Every structure is written in C-alpha cells, then in structure tokens.
Structure 1
Amino acid sequence: MSGQEFKRALGYANAAFELLKRSGIPPYPQFYELLYTYATGVNPSLNNRINAIFREGSSPSVDLAEALYNEFLKSDVNDRISDVSERMHARIEAVHDAIDSAMTTANAYSGSLQAASGDLQQDITVETLKSLANRLLLETRVMQETNQALEQKLEASRDDIAALQRDLDDVRRESMLDPLTKIANRKSFDEGLEAAVAEANIGDQPLCLMIADIDHFKTFNDTYGHQTGDQVLRLVAMTIRSNIKGKDLAARYGGEEFVAILPSTDLDGAVIVAENVRKAIQAKELLKRSTNEKLGRITASFGVAAFRSGDTPSSLLERADRCLYAAKHAGRNRVVSETELAEMQAAGSGISAA
C-alpha cells in the first residue's frame, strides 16, 4: 500500500468512526463497514439513502443501521451462488436417483436373463418356452421404458445444469463489476494487476499502470448533488474504457479514482493513452439532466508507472500513485509519468517521493 493510499484509507476510517460516534451507533464491524463505505462514496445508492436520512433529520439507530447494512452491503452474491449450488445439487441428486433406479432394473433384468439361460439348457415344453419368452419380452419392455425415462431425465438435467452454469457465470461477472460505472471493481482490478505483474515477471513484454483522479470532485459533488456526481463518474469510466484496447483493464479503484492496467504498453505509449483520456474528459461539457443547465467541464489528473523487473502489484501501484500525487501538486489536469517525476524532483520542484 502506498503512502497516499494509506492516507486515503485512514481518512475514510476516521470519517466512519466520527459518524459512528456522532450517531451513537456501536462500532460493530458491520456498522463500521457501512459508514466506511459511505465515506468512500463507492456505493451511490447507499450514499443517497444516508444523505436523505440526514436531510430529514431522522435519529440514527442501531435498527436503522442494521436495515441499511442488510439492504446495501449484505452481499446477495453469496446467497445467489448458494441458491445455484443448491439447485445444482438437487438436480445431480435427481440424476443419481434415476441412475440408481435404472441400475436396479438392469440388475433385475440381468438376473432374469441368467435364469432364462438356465431354463433353456433343460428340457422344457413348448408351453413353458412360450411363457418364458413372454416373461422376457415383458421385462425387456420394462427395461426399455426405464432406459427411455433415464435418457429423458439426463436430457432435462443437461439443460438445467447448463442454465444453472449460465446463472453462476452471470453472478460471477456481476461480482466483478462496479455497480455504478459498469467497469471492473476493486476486486477485479486487484486480481487483474496480480496476474499482469506475474506475467510480466516471467516474460519480456512491457506493462504499465495508469491511475486517474477527478479534480475537485468533492466540491463538484457537494455543489451539484450526488446524481450529477454519479453522472461524472460514469462519464469518466466510459471515457477510460473507450480509450483502451485488447487485454487492457479499466477499473474503478474507489471514490473518484480510476485505474487502467495496460499490458504490452511501454511508458511512452501509456502516457499517450493517459493524455488521450485527459483531453477527452476535459472536452466534454456537462449538463444537468433535469434542467439542461450547463455545469462546465471537469478535469482529471493522471499518474503513469512502468513495470520493473521484480515489481509486485503494490510497488507498481505505489509508483503510479506518486506520479498522481505529483500531477495534483503541479496544478492538476495533467499527466505525470515516472520519467517526468524524476525530472521534476531533479529540478527541485518541491515534489517529494513520498
């Protein structure tokens, strides 16, 4: 974890504890998670609900906090996965039962055939032979019907299991997306960066990481409201996603911060990507949807770092974060790469490496 990331996380934690203290809500883990999430702003629906409660002047309570936690944070992904798992288990059990029934019928049929074989080796009358043939014919039909029923159950089970697999895939995909911006979430980014760094450590392909932060977003959010703020977040996410390619991964890192993993891209190329995103964001004029009021333009600052041999996800992220901090410190609405950061430090611009 970089120094800047630690400071941000600590700020969110302090804000969460302050809200718990002010509301008189005990700092149980679920309530801390609730207000920590509120402080980060990553769940717009939760923030809108809590802000409405504050505006109405309602008295916070443990029951209210519990209800909000259950509604917004108690993940239904695990519940949905459990549901799919239970349905799949029931279907597999049904298949096992059908197979067991078919095997019982098959064993009985096999026994009848063996008995008939023994009878045929003895001297038997024509009437006994006819009776034996009729019995075998009847049991053969039962066996055919049992096999048909098994085939139908297997076919139905195959279709059901395919549908369950699609449901499970949908749940997994949803669990890896940010619900507001519909790009990858922090969990997906962490896994993607770990995989990209591991691949870069064993190969000779370049890898870069871009981190972006919307300038003065809190002020914008407070001035125009959370719905307009959400519109800004979606716009930035869409702009980043439309300017990357192939195996690149864009993600919402938290709050108003976004990241992009850029495999097979060197530092110069990554700076071009960041500049393209920066210019595209700055070029878009915002309108308040409800009134068509012009809200002006937004800007974002960018830090870009390149993979070095032996890097870990944390070390690469920390260097990109330092570059972002330098871009903010140098006036915002700009891209700072590791190369430029080194030049700024050598020139004594006051940008620290921390």
Structure 2
Amino acid sequence: MSEQEFKRALGYANSAFDLLKRSSIPPYPQFYELLYTYATGVNPTLNNRINAIFRNGDSPSANLAEALYNEFLKSDVNDRMSNVSERMHARIEAVHEAIDTAMTTANAYSGSLQSASGDLERDISPEAMKTLAERLLSETRRMQDTNRALEQKLEASRDDIASLQRDLDDVRRESLLDPLTKIANRKSFDEGMEAAIAEARENGTPLCLMIVDIDHFKNFNDTYGHQTGDQVLRLVAMTLKSNIKGKDLAARYGGEEFVAILPSTDIEGAVIVAENIRRAIQAKELLKRSTNEKLGRITASFGVAAYQPGDTVSMLIERADRCLYAAKHAGRNRVVSESELEALQVQLPQIQGISAA
C-alpha cells in the first residue's frame, strides 16, 4: 500500500469512527463497514440515503444502521452462490442415484444371464426353456427401461448443469463489476494487476498503470447533488472504457478515482492513451437530465507509471499515485508520467502532502 493510499484509508477510517461515536452506534464490524463505505463515497445511493437522514436532523441509530447494512452492503452474491452450489449438489446427487440404480439393475441382469447360462448347459424341458426365455426377456426389458431412465436423467442433468454454470458465471461477473459505473471494481482490478505483473515479469513485456482522478469532484457533487455526481462518474467510466482495448482493463478504484491496466504498452504509448482520455473527458459537456441545464465541462488528472523489474503491485501503484498527485499540484487537467516526475519534483519537493481534491 502506498503512502497516499494509507493516508486516504486512515482518513476514511477516522471519519467512520467519528460517525459511530457521534451516533452512539456500537463499533461492530458491519457498522464500521457501513460508515467506512459512506466515508469513501463509493456507493452513492447509500450516501444519498444517509445524507437525507442527516438533513432531516436525524442521527443513525443501531437499528437503522443494521437496516442500511442489510439493504446496501449485505451482498446477495454469496447467497446466490450458495443457492447455485446447493442446486448443483442436488443435481449431482440425482445423477449418482440414477447411476447407482442402473448399476444395481445391470448387476442383477448379469446375475440372471449367468444363471440362465448354467441352466442352458443342462438338459431342460421345453416348458422350462420357455419360462427361462420369458424371464430373460422380462429382465432385458427392465434393463432397457432403466437405461432409458438413466439417459433421460443424464440429459436433464446436462441441461441443468449448463444452466447452473451460466448462473455461476453471471454471479462471478457481477461480483467483479462496480454497481454504479458497470466497469470493473476494486476486486477485479486487484486480480488483474497481479496477473498483469506476473505476465510482464515472465515475458519481459512492457506494462503501464494509469490512475485517473476527477478534478474538484467533491465541490461538483456538493453543488449539483449526488445524482449529477453519479452521472459524472458514469461518464468518466464510459469514456475510460471506450478508449482502451484488447487486454487493457479499466476499473473504478474508489470514490472518484479510476485506474487502467495497460499490458504490452510502454510509457510513451500509455501517455498517448491518457492524453486521448483526458481530452475526451474534457470535450463532453454535462447536462442536468431533469432540466437540460448545461453544467459545464469536467476535467480529470492522470498519473502514469511503467512496470520495472522487481516491482510489486503496491510499488507500481505508489509511483502512479505520485504522478497523479504531481498532476494535481501542477494545475490539474493534465497527464504526468514518471518521465516528467523528476523535473516536476524540482519545483514540487513535497508532492506527497498534496490534497487530491
């Protein structure tokens, strides 16, 4: 974790504990998670609800906090995963039961054939032969019926298991998406970053990381409201995603910050991508949907860092974060890469203390 990440996380934690204390809510893990999430602003719908409570002069109680936690944070992904797992288990049990029945019937049929073989080795009367033939025919028909039932159950199970696999895929995809912007979430980014660094380390291919922060987002949010703020987040996410390609991954990093993993891209190429995204964001004029009022244009600042041999995920993030802070300090609405950072640091010796507002 970079120093900037640590400071941000600590600020969110302090805000969460302060709210717990002011509202006399027990500092149970779920309530801390609720107010920590509120402090980060990553769930705008939750923030709107809590802000409305504060505007009404109310204070979140433990009961209200529990209701909000159950509504917004108690993910149903695990419940859905458990449901799919139970259905899968039931279907597999049904297949096993059908196979056991078929094996039992097959063993009985095999025993009947062996018995009939022994009878045929001896001289038997025509009547006994007829009885034996009828018994074998009945056993054969029973075996055929059992096989048909097994085939039907296997066919049904194949369809059910294919459906369950699709459900599992849907749940997994949902667990890796940010619910507001519909691009990859932090969990997906963490997995993608680990995989990208492993590939760069193994193959010696270039890799860059871009961090994007919307300029003055808090002021914008406070001025025009959270719904418009949500619109801004979706717009930036859409612009980011539409300007990358191939194995690149765009994700919401937290709050108003976004990231893009750029495999097989050197620092010069990554800067070009970042500049294209910066200009695309700045070119979009924001309208208030309810009134069509023009709210002006938004801008974003970018930090770009390149993978170096021996880098860990946190090391690469920290360098990209420092570039982002330099872009903020240098006036915002610009891209700063590692190649520019040294020159900027001559003028800005204390980049780590800059506010990211």
TM-score bracket for the superposition, by shorter chain length: over 0.9
Matched, 1:321 2:282: no
Q: Which amino acid aligns with 2:27?
A: P
Q: How does 1:123-272 map to 2 (within 5 A)?
A: 123-272=123-272
2:329–2:351 Cα contact (<8 Å) kept: no
Q: Which amino acid aligns with 1:269?
A: G
Give the Cα–Cα distance (whole angstroms) in 2 for the partners of residues 263 and 303 of structure 1.
16
Deviation, 1:51, is 1.7
Deviation, 1:71, is 1.2
Please list every run of 5 or more consecutive structure 1 residues that lacks an aligned counterpart in the other structure.
Answer: none
Q: Which amino acid aligns with 2:115?
A: A
Aligned with 1:310: secondary structure?
Answer: coil
RMSD across aligned positions (CA): 1.0
Deviation, 1:58, is 3.1
Give the Cα–Cα distance (whole angstroms) in 2 for the partners of residues 21 and 335 of structure 1.
40
1:241-288 deviation line (CA, Å, top 9, x unaligned): 111110000000000000000011111110111111111111111000
Greater mean alpha carbon deviation, residues 106-115 or residues 162-171? 106-115
1:213–1:302 Cα contact (<8 Å) kept: yes
Deviation, 1:55, is 2.3
Aligned with 1:99: secondary structure?
Answer: helix
1:272-310 deviation line (CA, Å, top 9, x unaligned): 111111111111110000011110111100000011111
Q: Which amino acid aligns with 1:349?
A: Q
Give the Cα–Cα distance (whole angstroms) in 2 for the partners of residues 80 and 71 of structure 1.
16
Partner residue in 1 for 2:67: 67
1:138-195 deviation line (CA, Å, top 9, x unaligned): 1100110000000000000000000000000000000000000011000000110111
Identity %, equivalent residues: 83
TM-score (ref. length: structure 1):
0.98
Give the Cα–Cα distance (whole angstroms) in 2 for the partners of residues 283 and 269 of structure 1.
21
1:329–1:351 Cα contact (<8 Å) kept: no
- Number of aligned residues: 352
Q: Which amino acid aligns with 2:292?
A: N
Partner residue in 2 for 1:349: 347
Q: Which amino acid aligns with 2:260?
A: A
Aligned with 1:177: secondary structure?
Answer: coil
Q: Which amino acid aligns with 2:350?
A: S
Give the Cα–Cα distance (whole angstroms) in 2 for the partners of residues 35 and 150 of structure 1.
54
1:326–1:351 Cα contact (<8 Å) kept: no
1:42–1:254 Cα contact (<8 Å) kept: yes
Give the Cα–Cα distance (whole angstroms) in 2 for the partners of residues 150 and 263 of structure 1.
49
Give the Cα–Cα distance (whole angstroms) in 1 for the partners of residues 11 and 308 of structure 2.
30
Deviation, 1:353, is 5.7
Give the Cα–Cα distance (whole angstroms) in 2 for the partners of residues 48 and 106 of structure 1.
65
Deviation, 1:4, is 1.2
Matched, 1:334 2:337: no
Q: How does 1:107-118 map to 2 (within 5 A)?
A: 107-118=107-118
Q: Which amino acid aligns with 2:348?
A: G
TM-score (ref. length: structure 2):
0.97
Give the Cα–Cα distance (whole angstroms) in 2 for the partners of residues 67 and 187 of structure 1.
25
